[in-house]
A and B are shown apart, each in its own frame.
Chain A
């Protein structure tokens, strides 16, 4: 158990809909990362937040957005969903406030199926 939690574990929805994925980082970690894993694209970095602020963007679509709240949990919002958005979405956390470790630890993922 990495200490990173993600909800829900599974999500089934229809095209055109909007969903929200939630992530709680490990205790003491300040940074949250979102990744998408699909058969077509492999593992791709989407976006990073550090202590509430956006720090880096990867291959995140404009239909997707994220935020990190004062309690450091993060949400990834996916809108106008398309069939190709079906994937496993991971959250990872790092930057331990005490040690400064930047190793990323992954949550169990949310499996999204768009029908």
Chain B
């Protein structure tokens, strides 16, 4: 079974600053995806970024980027030029790829980091 650990329950930064959220995971699988999802006060789960384990290059999406260290089983999220709208719970998630076809297994989530962007 996989486990995902987010060691920062809450973080607070000033608007326009850069912030890094930590995530570590434990697995014996070799083929998997990692994700960061954002959950604002509306409670909607919004995909932020995805990383395939077989790719060495770190994923980026506009102001969001990851630092994926496969050997260390670490997957941190960096948010640059933070904005008030970035205030949300951020969840790190692991997904094992299924070889039987027809979709991957369910996501395993960390407990989340509550990020607060101060004006």
> A residues touching B (Cβ–Cβ < 8 Å)?
2, 30-31, 33, 35, 42-48, 50-51, 53, 55-56, 58, 88, 90, 92, 94-95, 102-106, 108-109, 111
Q: Which 10 A-B pairs have the closest CB atoms?
A: A45-B106, A31-B103, A50-B102, A106-B45, A43-B109, A95-B103, A102-B104, A50-B103, A58-B106, A56-B105
Which chain B residues border A30 with CB–CB below 8 Å? 102-103
Total residue contacts A-B, CB cutoff 8 A:
72
Interface string of B31-67 (1 = CB under 8 A from A): 0010101000001111100100000000000000000
Find out whether the CB atom of B103 lies under 8 angstroms from the CB atom of A42: no
Q: Is B108 an interface residue (CB 8 A)?
A: yes
Which chain B residues border A44 with CB–CB below 8 Å? 109
Min CB distance B3 to A, Å, is 12
User: Residue among A46, A51, A56, A111 with the most chain B CB within 10 A?
Assistant: A56
Find out whether the CB atom of A48 lies under 8 angstroms from the CB atom of B106: yes
Question: Can you list 13 contacts pairing A with B, beta carbon distance less than 8 Å?
Answer: A30-B102, A30-B103, A45-B108, A48-B105, A50-B102, A55-B100, A58-B106, A90-B45, A94-B103, A102-B33, A102-B104, A106-B47, A109-B43
